[in-house]
Amino acid sequence: MGGRRFFECPMWIGVRFLPWMRVLARNRFRVAPARLPRAAAITAASLANELLRGVTLAIWGRGMRAARLEADPVVILGHWRSGTTLLHELLACDERFHAPTTLQCGAPSHFVLSEQFARDHLSFLLPEQRPMDGMPMGFDRPQEDEIALCNLGLPSPWWGVAFPNEPLPDDAYTDLESLSDRERARWLATWTDFLRHVQFEHPGRLLLKNPLHTYRVPLIRSVYPQSDFIHISRDPHELVPSCLHFWRRMFESHGLQRATAAGLEDQVFDSILRMDRRLAATWDGIPEQRRFHTRYEDLVADPLGVLHAIYGHFGWPVAAVESRWRAAVAERRDYRPNEHAPDERLARRIATDLAAVLTRQGYPPRAAAAPAQSEMPLDSSGRRRSPAPA
């Protein structure tokens, strides 16, 4: 995965100034001394973002405001580490789609102005691979639109990554249902404006991936009733330890505090259970022709077969994208995902606490495996917290 860089570009580098000040103030400016350079860089960038936003609006504001989506989006649902990124990237091979990119989500207030310059001159700011799993990174790779919403100034549970030792933030922004009418309208306006700005710059049906959208299906359908939804699940025996590793790496790469042992495991279990219950309550409300479910294990074993099944279900033509799928699959042929087998204690907890999830998703109980030396088991005093909604 390469050596550690002197400066790793945090996901908040595109945040606007006043929202950033509010985040710092809410967390009482509790930035670890070692992370002060990171916080200073974000603060300086936030001022530049305001200037670039003003220039962008002055030049293209009228066109961006008038932009409309070509069609209601395709939305990938599923928990973190369930294969959403892999599915997102494979579907994005189809040039009839456009997935918001790392650059667009990272600099959502001015990417229309700055993305070409960033591609040409700033690619060194990103590592070649994601630190949590070794998958390729790049400004033009598909990205989660929740990052754009944070950088545009909306509250989000994702801010828990920046301040992992503080109380979990913005839980009401998980499913948005307990927000006031004004707060919900502001969220919707910010989200839909971002999508329209992406569409202004790039043609194609938008292809979105955001685990938090798994909670928001009814709201999304109220705005975009012709959206298509693809849900992907993963065996909790693999999902839980992968999530534990994922959030620890996220805290390290993007956090402003040195994360302490404060309940990460509990947060991961809670988020899996809560997301599963929410989707079970809303999934059947989607017309059958507009929803499809697959599993990570099937996607890895037979990616072309799963892609054909998705396209067949929605009636999308395959001929124009088949060769690009094959090239993408061939590119990943030597990729080996990290293995994070649960220890005996964690496997017992998965079998007990996630029994309903295992049953609903069709995964059998599994015997525990011995932990790898590089991934020692977390005991009750070694748990960390996660920004995943509780």
Residues of the chain with pLDDT under 50: 1-7, 370-390
Question: In the numeric block, which tokens belong to residue 167?
Answer: 């109380």
Number of helices followed by number of strands (H, E) in the chain:
15, 5
- Grouping H, G, I as helix, E, B as strand and the rest as coil, residue 382 is coil
Residue 313's φ and ψ, nearest 5 degrees, are -65, -45
Based on the number of CB atoms within 10 Å of its own CB, is 62 exposed (0-12), middle (13-18) or buried (19 or more)? exposed
The structure's pTM equals 0.88
- Which amino acid appears at position 229 of this protein? F
11-361: CATH number: 3.40.50.300
pLDDT at 262: 74
pLDDT for res 336? 64
Specify the pLDDT at position 137. Answer: 63
CA–CA dist 179, 206 (Å, integer): 26
pLDDT of 126 reads 63
31 CB-near residues (< 8 Å, 6+ apart): 24, 39, 256, 257
Q: Is 116 helix (H, G, I), strand (E, B) or coil?
A: helix
Return d(Cα 359, Cα 81) in angstroms, integer.
Answer: 19
Residue 136: per-residue pLDDT: 67
Residues 6+ apart with CB under 8 A from 211: 77, 78, 79, 80, 82, 84, 144, 146, 275
Q: Which position has the token pair 């989660």?
A: 144
State the pLDDT at residue 133: 56
Q: Could you tell me if 283 and 214 are in contact, meaning their C-beta atoms sit under 8 angstroms apart?
A: no
Largest CA distance in the chain: 61
C-alpha–C-alpha distance, residues 387 and 267, integer Å: 8
Domain boundaries, the chain: 11-361
DSSP string, 124-142: GGS-SB-TTT--B--TTSB
- Tokens at residue 194, please? 């971002």
What pLDDT shows up at residue 332? 81
- Token duo for residue 286: 């989607």
pLDDT score recorded for residue 129: 60
How many Å apart are CA 67 and CA 208, to the nearest integer? 18
Going by the DSSP 8-state scheme, the letter that residue 94 receives in this structure is S
Closest CA to 91 of 76, 70, 106: 76
* Nearest residue to 149 via CA among 178, 177, 170: 170
Tokens of 389: 């909604």
The predicted pLDDT at position 381 comes to 36
Question: Six-digit token pair at 231?
Answer: 């849900």
Sequence-distant (≥ 6) Cβ neighbours of residue 349 within 8 angstroms? 269
Rounded Cα distance, 209 and 51, in Å: 29
